[in-house]
């Protein structure tokens, strides 16, 4: 489920009256997603997504995310910008939460992408990186390399409740990966930072939308590909690597931005970093979300297993 905030028909009607979008016909909560409350809203003029931003999205950062979406949409990329109301305002308040009415994009997100679909999605990511060359806003990565140790320490030895030895494995991995993290020589730009299959809408082999930009930030450009590679190239448990999908991602991305020798050499470190990032956020959620909560907890070990794929020497005890 991802409807944390209920929106009454009266409040939604008043909200929509600020826009030139027609009259409310229906509104249904969208089950997918974990961070925000999303509704599919139908009006007499079409379909829209209504997003109410919940606790993990800082309202002060919404102008960055919306600015990035506007920038990409203006360049013709398939991303969903917020709709402006009659006064030109995108970021509103509804039921006490920051809220935006967002362009609806067609397509579905895939559970088992084929190599052709992976290649198309990686090309779409590369097109996004090309399009931000003149994007001027900046946002530090709130889940970047410097945040891993503090989050690891907040999780503490409770990590061993998830799997015996997980604390020591992650301590070792964080130390090694942060010590070998690429420096200033790598290109940096606005990256998506969470381009999992569920954040790419597709019809057949065509990408119809990149969505969910709420971790977007300024960071190493090829790190975005590493995040994608770690998310797309494995089965859900992280046990089985699909080389055809992994290779297709690299091939698609390289067709726009060929990887330099140094980027190729450092790719396993970047991918190991991506695995640490998602293993840690999932571990934190695992330890702090009651097992019977409405939100499904995602398995941290699925990322520890991926970490083992990219850096076999770093994981000794927990998988
Ligand atoms: N602009 C959009 N057009 C069509 N569907 C969308 C759009 N934005 C979100 N969705 C649907 O809502 C679901 C949840 O959105 P998402 O942004 O991933 O939520 P969360 O930020 O809570 O993870 C997506 O899986 C997709 O089905
Ligand atoms: N992709 C992350 C969690 C973030 O969820 P999203 O629905 O906002 O993409 C993970 O799988 O751990």
CA of 98 to the centre of ligand 1 (A): 16
Query: Do 175 and 88 fall into the same domain?
Result: no
Q: Are 84 and 129 part of one and the same domain?
A: no
202 forms bridges with which residues in the sheet? Answer: 108, 207
Q: Which residue has the tokens 């579905």?
A: 108
187-233 pLDDT per residue, tens = 999 999 999 999 999 999 999 999 999 999 999 999 999 999 999 99
Question: 274 with 195: CB under 8 angstroms?
Answer: no
Judged against a pLDDT cut of 70, whether residue 270 lies above it is answered with: yes
Which pLDDT belongs to residue 183?
84
Closest-CA residue to 146 (of 284, 273, 61): 273
Mean predicted lDDT score pLDDT of the chain:
95
The pLDDT tens digits for 6-46 are 999 999 999 999 999 999 999 999 988 778 999 999 999 99
Instruction: Calculate how far, in angstroms, residue 210's C-alpha sits from the geometric centre of ligand 2.
Output: 14
- For the CA of 196, the closest atom of ligand 2 is 1
| 126 and 231 housed in the same domain | yes
Query: Could you tell me if the CB of 194 is within 6 A of ligand 1?
Result: no
Contact of 202 with 112, CB cutoff 8 Å: no
Q: Pull the structure tokens for residue 62.
A: 């919404």
**Strand, helix or coil at 94?**
strand
- Please check whether residue 252 is in contact with residue 258, taking contact to mean a CB–CB distance below 8 angstroms: no
10 C-alpha to ligand 2 centroid (Å): 32
Pairwise CA distance, residues 288 & 186, whole Å: 35
- One domain for residues 81 and 125: no
100 lines ligand 1 (CB under 6 A): no
pLDDT band at 120 (very low <50, low <70, confident <90, very high): very high
Find, among 196, 183, 187, 202, the residue nearest to 257 by Cα.
Answer: 187
Tokens standing for residue 168: 């020591």
Q: Which atom of ligand 1 is nearest to the CA of 57?
A: 21
Tell me, yes or no, whether 70 and 153 share the same domain.
no
Q: Rounded CA gap, 131 and 213, in Å?
A: 15
Distance CA 181, CA 219 (A): 12
Cα 307–chain centre separation: 18
Give me the number of domains the chain comprises: 2
Structural domain boundaries, residue 92: 9-103
pLDDT at position 99, please?
97
The residue with tokens 């569920």 is 198
User: Would you give the distance in Å from CA 33 to the centre of its chain?
Assistant: 10
Stated pTM of the model = 0.96
Last residue of a domain, one of 103, 131, 147: 103
CA of 44 to the centre of ligand 2 (A): 33
Same structural domain, 80 and 125: no
Q: Which atom of ligand 1 is nearest to the CA of 199?
A: 18
Q: Which of 52, 70, 103 is the last residue of a domain?
A: 103
Residue 1 has pLDDT above 60, yes or no: no
Q: Which domain CATH number covers 20? A: 3.30.200.20
Identify whether 1 is part of a domain.
no
Q: Are residues 171 and 300 in the same domain?
A: yes
Conformational region of residue 37, where left means phi above 0, alpha means psi within -120 to 50, and beta covers everything else: beta
Q: Are residues 50 and 145 in the same domain?
A: no
Give the residue among 216, 239, 228, 317 at the shortest CA–CA distance from 267: 228
Secondary element (H or E) of residue 97: strand 97-103
- Measured CA to CA, the distance from residue 222 to residue 233 in angstroms comes to 16
- Weakest-pLDDT range from 57-71, 82-96, 293-307: 293-307
Look at residue 122 and tell me whether its pLDDT is greater than 90.
Answer: yes
């Amino acid at each position: 489920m991802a409807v944390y905030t209920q929106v009454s028909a009266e409040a939604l009607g008043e909200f929509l009256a600020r826009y030139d979008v027609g009259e409310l016909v229906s509104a249904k909560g969208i089950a997918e997603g974990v961070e925000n409350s999303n509704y599919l809203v139908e009006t007499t003029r079409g379909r829209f997504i209504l997003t109410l931003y919940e606790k993990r999205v800082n309202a002060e950062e919404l102008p960055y995310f919306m600015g990035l979406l506007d920038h990409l949409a203006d360049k013709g990329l398939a991303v969903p910008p917020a709709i402006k109301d009659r006064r030109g305002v995108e970021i509103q308040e509804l039921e006490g939460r920051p809220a935006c009415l967002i362009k609806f994009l067609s397509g579905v997100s895939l559970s088992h992408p084929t190599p052709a679909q992976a290649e198309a999605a990686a090309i779409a990511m590369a097109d996004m990186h090309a399009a931000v060359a003149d994007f001027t806003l900046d946002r530090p990565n709130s889940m970047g390399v410097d945040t891993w140790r503090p989050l690891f320490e907040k999780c503490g030895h409770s990590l061993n409740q998830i799997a015996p030895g997980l604390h020591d494995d992650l301590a070792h991995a964080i130390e090694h990966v942060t010590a070998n993290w690429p420096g200033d020589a790598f290109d940096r730009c606005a990256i998506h930072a969470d381009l999992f299959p569920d954040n790419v809408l597709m019809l057949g082999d065509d990408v119809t939308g990149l969505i969910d930009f709420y971790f977007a930030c300024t960071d190493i450009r090829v790190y975005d590909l590493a995040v994608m590679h770690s998310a797309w190239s494995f089965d859900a448990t992280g046990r089985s690597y699909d080389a055809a999908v992994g290779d297709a991602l690299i091939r698609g991305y390289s067709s726009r931005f060929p990887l330099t020798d140094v980027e190729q050499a450092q790719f396993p470190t970047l991918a190991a970093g991506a695995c640490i990032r998602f293993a840690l956020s999932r571990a934190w959620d695992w330890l702090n979300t009651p097992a019977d909560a409405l939100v499904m907890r995602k398995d941290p070990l699925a990322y520890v297993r991926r970490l083992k794929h990219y850096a076999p020497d770093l994981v000794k005890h927990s998988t």
